Amino acid sequence: MYKISGIPTKTNTKCGELNVVHYLFVVQAVSSAVQIITSIIIGDVARWVGSIKWTFVFLIFLSFVGNFLYSCASVLSVHSILGGRILCGVASASGALIYSYITATNTDRAKVFKYISSYRSAAGCLMAISQLIAIFGSYVDFHIGYFKVSSNNAPTFICSFVMLLLVVCLMLVLKNPSVPPRRDSVSFKSAFRDFCSAEIHQLLGCIVMLWGMFLASFLMSEVVYFMPVFLTESLGWDTKFQGVAFMVASIIGICGNLLFPYITKQRSEGEINQLQKQVNRLELVCESIDDEKQQQLELFKKKLMFQNQVLISLLSLAFALFGQTFMIGAEKTFRSHSLPHINTGCFFVSGLSLIMLGYNGMASTFPALFSEYIKPQVKLQLMPIIGAIAALGKLVAPVVLSNLYQTKLGMSIAVGLGMILTGLTAPAVLWLLSRKSRA
């Protein structure tokens, strides 16, 4: 018997012994690769279906099927794990489609940022709650006929039925925004060609924001990869304590998601109110403000919101940079035995919390900024690129981090790479502030 991702499975004796580590890597890599491909084409799929809502609901249903299949692997086949992860990879494209949904149902820039932040907050909240499910599942042990439900598969069973309940809720509460008729709509190929033919400053801005999403996903994967490696293998923390640590980091990330839109709103409203007072005084003198002046006022509001969101992105990068510094510091402290393990662990979790705070900030601002750089008629096709880039970060990070971790410098060099990438991203994001006009 071998245990793959917590699910006991039998090896096929005809094929020889199963290389568990290699199989796990294949399962995760295939799932991420499927997510990338699906995220790229999901806009065209929604256009073909004629509904963003029902495409999104179907993807969530696939998540239920994939997790249920994954949970039943012990009585089916080891390859049902791969099948389940492929379906979950397809379902993960729902994260890409949600950006199209938000921008399709809202045109106000501040509301787009607010709703994307709320989406990230909800995702972070569910990540925190999922640790409670994992802890509860670790105590489960009963039989249904010949099938055993235990700590190995109980969490994924619970997850699958939560997704089924979510499908029912989404069917009732989601709006159904219109999509362009097929004869008037734009294909992904045409949208991408239009995107590549944009002005150089617009294209560079889009690349910076897509890179920002890749980095955010990379840093998130860094947390997921090194948390069990350090807390469990190095410090010897029980899995339950590890779950609590991730829950704390997730909650702090959620707080950031709630705080960032508030900061942006307060900064923007203060300057806008001052300008509005000047306009009102001018109206008393001139009796009326022409349309051109009103358009300039609206343009100023949009540019101010844009600048504040860029500043939030820079603040998020700073949080991520300091968080990674804490991780390296904790690893050095562990090696030198200069602090008790509990102190070292708390130091490490503080770093994870700062990274989660930065991740949530970047995952909120970059999609909102990207939506303003592309034309409304191609958003359905191009907004899901954000999800594809995030999936690419999840695919690349484990490969790079695991190889660096196996070197003599270990976690220091692996996390150091993340710090270098974070530091190099800051000047590129700062360049966005020099953008004078809306793309």
Burial 169-202 (b: 16+ CB within 10 A, else e): ebeeebeebebeeeeebbebeebbebbeebeebb
Q: How many domains does the chain have?
A: 1
pLDDT at position 198 is 67
CA distances from 130 to 123, 142, 184, 364 (A): 10, 21, 42, 21
CB 352 within 8 A of CB 327: yes
Helices (H), 229-340: 239-286, 291-336
Q: Flag whether 164 is in a domain.
A: no
CB 179 within 8 A of CB 403: no
User: What single DSSP character describes residue 143?
Assistant: E
pLDDT at position 269 is 64
Residue 12 burial (CB count, 10 A):
12
Q: Flag whether 132 is in a domain.
A: no
Q: Flag whether 85 is in a domain.
A: no
**Whole-angstrom Cα distance, residue 43 to residue 38?**
9
Q: Flag whether 32 is in a domain.
A: no
End-to-end Cα spacing for the chain: 58
Q: Flag whether 415 is in a domain.
A: yes
What digits encode the pLDDT tens for the residues 112-136?
A: 777 777 777 677 677 667 767 766 7
CB 320 within 8 A of CB 358: yes
Whole-prediction pTM value? Answer: 0.72
Query: Using only C-alpha atoms, what is the Rg of the chain?
Result: 24
CB 439 within 8 A of CB 199: yes
Q: Flag whether 154 is in a domain.
A: no
- Residue spans of the chain under pLDDT 70: 1-26, 74-75, 109-110, 121, 124, 127-128, 131, 134-135, 137-138, 145, 151-152, 180-189, 194, 197-198, 239-240, 257, 261, 264-299, 301, 376-379, 435-439
CB 211 within 8 A of CB 428: yes
pLDDT at position 37 is 86
Domain that holds residue 253: 198-439
pLDDT at position 215 is 92
Which CATH number characterizes residue 348's domain? 1.20.1250.20
**Whole-angstrom Cα distance, residue 39 to residue 390?**
10
What digits encode the pLDDT tens for the residues 341-358?
A: 888 888 888 888 899 888
- DSSP string over 323-357: HHHHHHHHHHHHHHT-S-HHHHHHHHHHHHHHHHH
Q: Flag whether 279 is in a domain.
A: yes
pLDDT at position 110 is 67
**Whole-angstrom Cα distance, residue 105 to residue 177?**
6
